[in-house]
A and B are shown apart, each in its own frame.
Chain A
Amino acid sequence: MNTQIDNWKIYALGDHAIVFALDEKVDAIIINKIKSLHHFILSKKIAGIIDCIPSYHTLTLVYDATKIFTSANHTEAQLLSFVNKIMNEAKYAQTSFLKNHSTLTKIPVCYESDYALDIQNISIQKNISIQEIIKMHTAKIYEVYSIGFLPGFAYMGIVDEPIQMPRHEKPRAQVLAGSVGIAGVQTGIYPSNSPGGWQIIGRTPLTIFDPNPEVLAKFKVGDQIQFYAITKSEFEKLNEYKD
C-alpha cells in the first residue's frame, strides 16, 4: 500500500504497520504536524491500533491485523479506506489540534566539570569558551523530535551550529543517568546508566525515566524543553539519583 494525501506519503511498513510521512527534515513545523496527527489518532481510540510512534517526519501506526480488518480478503483496499477515513477526519479536526501548544518544560543542568566530561574538549576544538557553550545550550528552546534508543531517551534539537559535535568514535562503556549530551544537531539526556557515544556537557539531577506506570517518561515527542544552569551544590540538593 502506497498513497499520497496532500503532503503526506502513506505506506505500509511490513504487514503490521503503516507510516504517515512528511518531508524528511528536522523541522519544528513538521514535528508539530506529526504530533497533531498523533494526538488526533489517539483521540479516536481505534480498536486494533496497538502502537502509535512519532519520530521526526513520520508517524507509524502498529496494528493487529486480526482486529483492524473484517476479513483476510482485500486487506490492501481495507487499509487504504482506513487511511483515507483518518486523513479526512483529521483534516477537519487538525486546526484545533494544532492550537494545542505544548508547555515549556525547564530542566536544570549542572555544567560543572565533574559532570561535563567533554565540555573542555569541545571548548578547545571549537575555540569557544565554556561560558559561551553553556549560554548557547541554555538560550535555545528545543523540540523533542523522537524518543528511542532507551526508554525515555528524547532526541531534542536543533543545537546551534558552533556547539554541534559528532558522537565519540568509541562510545563510553558507561554514561550516568541524567547526563546531558550533544550529537550533531541533537541534544538529549540519558534516562538510565548506559554505554553511550554522545559528547557529555552536563548532568540534570532530575529523573528522566521512572518505571512506575503512573510516571514513565518525562518527555513526549513534540514537547518543548529549555535547559538552565545550576551549581554543583544546587545539583546535590535536587539530586534524584542514588549513584
Chain B
Amino acid sequence: MSIQIIKKGLSDSIQDNGRYGYQHLGIQPNGCMDIFSAWVGNYILQNNLNTPVIELHFPSSRFQFDIDYIICITGANFVPVINEKSVELYTPIHLKQNDILSMLQPIEGRTAYIAIQGTLNDTQWLNSYAYAGKRLEKGQILDFKATHSQSIIKQEHYNHLIEKIHAHVFDHQNPIRFIPGPAWKDLDQNAAATLLELPFTISPQANRMGFHLNGPKLNLSIPNAYLSSAVTRGSLQLLPNGNIIVLMADHQTIGGYANLGQIILVDLPRFAQMKAGQPFHFSSTTLENAHQLYWNLYESFQH
C-alpha cells in the first residue's frame, strides 16, 4: 500500500498542522502554507484535520498509486490529470491500482494539496510529519494506509464549506490584513502611510521560509538594530535595504529585524496562494476582528 514519486517536483513535501512546543530550542513549526485548503481535503475525506497531506508547488511531482486509494485535491488549480484524463478539484477521486497523477499547468494559486483517505505509516518527529527542508524525491515511496471503512460524506454537506473557503483563500482583491507590531512606531513619518496606501507584489524570491516583497522602500526613524526575539508566521520583517520579507511556515524561530506587524492567521492562506507579481494592498486590523474572522472559519470545520 503505497504511493510512489515517479518524477520529482520543484519543491513538494509532506505537511500537516506543524510542530509546536519546540520553538524555544530553535525548532521551526513547519506545516501547511495554506492550512485551510489542506483541511478542506481532509474534511471531505473525513480524515482527522491533522492528517498529513502532500503539498505541491508547480512544476509538481508525478505520483503512481499501487492500490485503490481515495484522494482529494484542493488549493491551487494545477490542472490535475489521472492517466492523462482531467479530474476535478474538491471532490473525492477513486483511484485504481497503478493510476498515475500529474499536474499540467498552474492556472490558479501557488500551492495545491493532495489529501489521502487513511493514515501515513511513517515516523513522526516531535509530533509532526512535517520536516523543514525535506522534499519529496524521485523513487521515494510514501506508505499511506488506506482506510475505506469511513463512508464518504455527501457533496451537499460540504459544498458550502468549499465555496466559503475557496472564495476566501483565492480572494486576491481585498487587502491582506495585519496587526501592527513592536517596530511599527519606529517607521518614519511617511513610511506607515506608504505601507498602507501603496501596492506591493510578492517577488520571485519566495519559498516556504519567507516571501520577499517588491514595493515602496520603507525607512525607520531609528537604526534597524533590535535584539532578536521570537517571530511568527506572517511576521513582516523590514530588512535594512528598506524591503519587507514576510515569514512563512518554515520561518526561523527568532528574528532581529524591525518587526512591523503580523499578517492575521485567517489571511495567511490567502497570502500564501498569491502568485509573484500580483499586486495587493495591506490594511491594518484589530486583534478582536482577527480572532472573530479566524474563529468563524475554524468553526466551519467543526461539524
Assess the A53–B24 pair: CB atoms within 8 A.
Answer: yes
Given A16-B265, A53-B254, the answer on whether A75 and B288 have CB atoms closer than 8 Å is yes
What residues on B are CB-neighbors of A74 within 8 Å? 288
C-alpha spacing A65/B46, complex, angstroms: 24
For chain B residues 254-300, which have a beta carbon within 8 Å of chain A?
254, 259, 261-265, 286-288, 290-292, 294-296, 298
- The chain A residue sitting closest to B298, CB to CB, is A66
The interface-forming segment of B50-58, B72-80, B157-165, B222-230 is B222-230
Smallest CB separation, A176 vs chain B (Å): 18
Q: What mask results when residues 151 to 193 of chain B are scored 1 for a CB within 8 Å of chain A, else 0?
A: 0000000000000000000000000001101100000000000
Of the candidates B126, B230, B263, the one whose C-beta lies within 8 Å of that of A213 is: B126
C-alpha spacing A13/B265, complex, angstroms: 12
> Is B253 located at the chain interface by the 8 A CB criterion?
yes
C-alpha spacing A147/B22, complex, angstroms: 11
Given A15-B264, A51-B24, A62-B23, the answer on whether A24 and B227 have CB atoms closer than 8 Å is yes
For chain A residues 44-77, which have a beta carbon within 8 Å of chain B?
50-58, 60, 62, 65-66, 69, 72-76
> Is B13 located at the chain interface by the 8 A CB criterion?
no
What residues on A are CB-neighbors of B252 within 8 Å? 148-149
C-alpha spacing A150/B290, complex, angstroms: 31
Of the candidates A13, A146, A150, the one whose C-beta lies within 8 Å of that of B262 is: A13
> Is B232 located at the chain interface by the 8 A CB criterion?
yes
The interface-forming segment of A85-93, A102-110, A118-126, A216-224 is A216-224
Assess the A14–B254 pair: CB atoms within 8 A.
Answer: no
Assess the A1–B287 pair: CB atoms within 8 A.
Answer: yes
Assess the A15–B227 pair: CB atoms within 8 A.
Answer: no
Assess the B26–A152 pair: CB atoms within 8 A.
Answer: yes
C-alpha spacing A65/B27, complex, angstroms: 22
Assess the B291–A58 pair: CB atoms within 8 A.
Answer: no
Smallest CB separation, A42 vs chain B (Å): 9
> Is A155 located at the chain interface by the 8 A CB criterion?
yes
Of the candidates B20, B287, B296, the one whose C-beta lies within 8 Å of that of A62 is: B20
Assess the B291–A72 pair: CB atoms within 8 A.
Answer: yes
C-alpha spacing A69/B179, complex, angstroms: 19
For chain B residues 113-147, which have a beta carbon within 8 Å of chain A?
125-126
Smallest CB separation, B282 vs chain A (Å): 14
C-alpha spacing A30/B265, complex, angstroms: 31
What residues on B are CB-neighbors of A227 within 8 Å? none
C-alpha spacing A173/B25, complex, angstroms: 24
C-alpha spacing A187/B252, complex, angstroms: 19
Assess the A17–B227 pair: CB atoms within 8 A.
Answer: no
> Is B234 located at the chain interface by the 8 A CB criterion?
yes
- The chain B residue sitting closest to A42, CB to CB, is B24
Assess the B232–A16 pair: CB atoms within 8 A.
Answer: yes
Assess the B230–A55 pair: CB atoms within 8 A.
Answer: yes
Smallest CB separation, A171 vs chain B (Å): 15
- The chain A residue sitting closest to B179, CB to CB, is A14
> Is A153 located at the chain interface by the 8 A CB criterion?
yes
Assess the A15–B26 pair: CB atoms within 8 A.
Answer: no
For chain A residues 145-173, which have a beta carbon within 8 Å of chain B?
146-153, 155
Assess the B23–A220 pair: CB atoms within 8 A.
Answer: no
Assess the A216–B20 pair: CB atoms within 8 A.
Answer: no
C-alpha spacing A213/B19, complex, angstroms: 13
- The chain A residue sitting closest to B267, CB to CB, is A15
Assess the B227–A14 pair: CB atoms within 8 A.
Answer: no
Assess the A148–B291 pair: CB atoms within 8 A.
Answer: no
C-alpha spacing A75/B287, complex, angstroms: 8
What residues on A are CB-neighbors of B229 within 8 Å? 19, 21, 53, 55-58, 60, 146
Smallest CB separation, B136 vs chain A (Å): 20
Assess the B264–A55 pair: CB atoms within 8 A.
Answer: no
C-alpha spacing A150/B252, complex, angstroms: 7
> Is B47 located at the chain interface by the 8 A CB criterion?
no
Contacts A26-B227, A66-B294 supplied; 6 other A-B pairs, CB < 8 Å: A53-B23, A56-B227, A57-B227, A72-B292, A147-B25, A150-B26
* A-B CB proximity, top 9 nearest: A14-B262, A148-B254, A60-B230, A72-B295, A15-B290, A50-B20, A53-B230, A58-B229, A56-B227
Name 18 interchain pairs, CB-CB below 8 A, sorted by A.
A13-B259, A14-B263, A14-B290, A15-B262, A16-B265, A21-B182, A26-B227, A51-B23, A55-B228, A55-B230, A58-B230, A62-B20, A75-B291, A76-B287, A147-B26, A148-B26, A151-B28, A220-B25
Residues of A within 8 A of B (CB): 1, 11-17, 19, 21, 24-26, 38, 50-58, 60, 62, 65-66, 69, 72-76, 79, 146-153, 155, 211, 213, 216-217, 220-221
Residues of B within 8 A of A (CB): 20-29, 125-126, 178-179, 181-182, 226-230, 232, 234-235, 252-254, 259, 261-265, 286-288, 290-292, 294-296, 298
